[in-house]
Structure 1
Amino acid sequence: MDQQTPDPAGAENLVCSRCGTVAEGAPPTWTCSVENGVRRYFCDSCARENIRAIEGRLDSPWW
């Protein structure tokens, strides 16, 4: 699943890998994680709920 959807105006729409929330551009409160060479983005709510697992560098399928 592609986490970035190109926007015709040139901006990217990011999709939260956990809940599916869509954001235009790169919100400063979102978290980016690279898992097995793939960038995954997490909205501020999902990142806040799982911050210990993220800081422990656990892959998102684990949490």
Structure 2
Amino acid sequence: MYWLEFDRYALCMDRTNWKDGGEDINYLAVSVVWQGASIPIAWVCLIKGEGNLTRRSALT
């Protein structure tokens, strides 16, 4: 990510839940915060009940 041109950066972790019919779709993402925007750098689709610390730690 050399093109971002900054010395320090912040990471943001976010989970989102979408509904597709009756099915829940959950994504957990890690993003770099840059100039007021979040740029996703890693993400995973969570299966029901997987939003625990172990899964979050594995993503980071």
Q: Is the TM value for this pair above 0.5?
A: no
Which structure has more strand as a fraction of its residues? 2
> Per the shorter chain, which TM-score range?
0.3 to 0.5
Q: Of the two, which has the highest radius of gyration? A: 2
TM-score of the pair, normalised by structure 2: 0.34
